Amino acid sequence: MDLTVKLKNADDIDHIATGVQPTPFHSRTSKLNMNQQWVEWCGYATAVSYMDAHIEYFATRNTCAVFDMSPMRKYRFKGPDAEAMLDRMVTRDVSKQALNTVAYNVWCTDAGRVVDDGTLFRLADDEFIVCCADPCYDWFQLAAVGFDAIEITDISEDLASLALQGPTSCALLKQMGFSGIENCKPFEIVKFPYLSGEMMISRTGFTGDLGYELWIDPKDAEALWDELFDKGYNYGIQPLGDESLDMARLEAGFISPDVEFHGALHTVEPGHDHSPFELGLGWIVNFKKAHFTGRAALLAEKESGNYRRLVKLDIEGNKPAESSILYSGKNCKQEIGYVTSAMWSPVVKANIAYGLIDAKYIDSEIWAEIYHQKELRWYRKVAKCTKVKKPFWAPERAKATPPPDC
């Protein structure tokens, strides 16, 4: 069998990625990355940290920081059937989402297992953009079966994006000339003319603090970065890497793909996928709307109550419970779950974590078996865990409109 790919002409190979690709901001991020440590995200290079993860993290809490989120996958849904198709796919009621707003969402298999999570932007009655961490184009095409009046387009390469996060972020945007940005409410979208085209700004982010996400044509990416760092000097701007972003999102009580959960299409072992209820996302599962994928399975799970719970934990001591097993007693005989994320929180001054607990032990005492190293020697510690309901970090400025100038 001849498996040779026949090309029409040499230009046909231009779209084929060869190795890890630079983002539209790479010419700037690579110069600031003193560590030159990169990881691959959807085929693109993203910085682990630029100099020190804690310096970058503190910028999200005291000044402002910029994270290159261009590798995120972005898909446009356009046409008369766009709303109905998305409403059948995701767990929230899309028909209730107002124009020029953003809503966090998940979409599931028929078995009620999470395929992925992401943000849904409503730009018009018949136009939406979905942003997610992993490629989902094939799933979206399957979900659109039966809907003829819709066009789904992968626009990932058509939008460069930055997350500008921290208490001075709004003041910096005003300094850049985005008049009225202070009136943008959480999860709202505003648009401004900028450089050769248009800037879309959403009051969204992954740090739990005041922040915005900036969406722009890739050809204007470098100019945007330069202006941010030129005018942001007096606002304490810093570049933000993966490590520091992960610290901030854990304090904010946000889950992360491939950390708290694997998408159901990427797991092999039974039980290694998750439902929205297991991940604490029951608040975005709407059973009042019409049928959506996974509805029957999710309703049965909710009524049974027999599902694991992802809980926030305040753990005694100061040794992070990374990769720890959780037990129902100090003797560590009955295993009840495991830690998905853990850290010592510099701002909260607490040893915090996410833990996934088996349903029948959710009301039991929780103890973490922690192994930590000191001068090349390993030590074992058993620490008591206290369940916490609210996010560890949720300052008033994150919701205030207009936010205070810091």
* Buried b / exposed e along 153-180 (16+ C-beta atoms within 10 A): eeebeebbbbbbbbbbbbbbbeebebee
Q: Do 135 and 173 sit in the same domain of this protein?
A: no
The Cα–Cα gap between 367 and 66 comes to 37
Three-state secondary-structure class, residue 401: coil
Is 361 inside a domain boundary?
A: yes
The Cα–Cα gap between 301 and 55 comes to 43
pTM above 0.85, yes or no: yes
Is 265 inside a domain boundary?
A: no
Is 118 inside a domain boundary?
A: yes
Q: Do 172 and 230 sit in the same domain of this protein?
A: yes
Residue 87 to residues 9, 62, 109, 143, 337, Cα–Cα distance (Å): 41, 39, 14, 10, 34
Per-residue pLDDT at 17: 52
Per-residue pLDDT at 270: 87
Q: Do 60 and 163 sit in the same domain of this protein?
A: yes
Is 154 inside a domain boundary?
A: no
Is 107 inside a domain boundary?
A: yes
Point out the annotated binding site for substrate. 213
Using an 8 Å Cβ cutoff, are 268 and 200 in contact? no
Question: What is the domain count for the chain?
Answer: 3
Q: Do 313 and 340 sit in the same domain of this protein?
A: yes
Domain boundary among 252, 268, 286: 252
Q: Do 141 and 163 sit in the same domain of this protein?
A: no
Residue 110: domain span: 73-146
pLDDT in tens, the chain (406 residues): 333 333 334 444 454 455 789 999 999 999 999 999 999 999 999 999 999 999 999 999 999 999 999 999 999 999 999 999 999 999 999 999 999 999 999 999 999 999 999 999 999 999 999 999 999 999 999 999 999 999 999 999 999 999 999 999 999 999 999 999 999 999 999 999 999 899 999 999 999 999 999 999 999 999 999 999 999 999 999 999 999 999 999 999 999 999 999 999 999 998 899 999 999 999 999 999 999 999 999 999 999 999 999 999 999 999 999 999 999 999 999 999 999 999 999 999 999 999 999 999 999 999 999 999 999 999 999 999 999 999 999 999 999 999 998 6
Using an 8 Å Cβ cutoff, are 384 and 363 in contact? no
Per-residue pLDDT at 18: 56
Per-residue pLDDT at 9: 43
The CATH number for 364's domain is: 2.40.30.110
Q: Do 248 and 329 sit in the same domain of this protein?
A: no
Secondary structure letter of residue 259 according to DSSP: T
Mean pLDDT of the chain: 94
The Cα–Cα gap between 176 and 132 comes to 28
Per-residue pLDDT at 240: 98
Point out the annotated binding site. 213
Per-residue pLDDT at 4: 34
Is 290 inside a domain boundary?
A: no
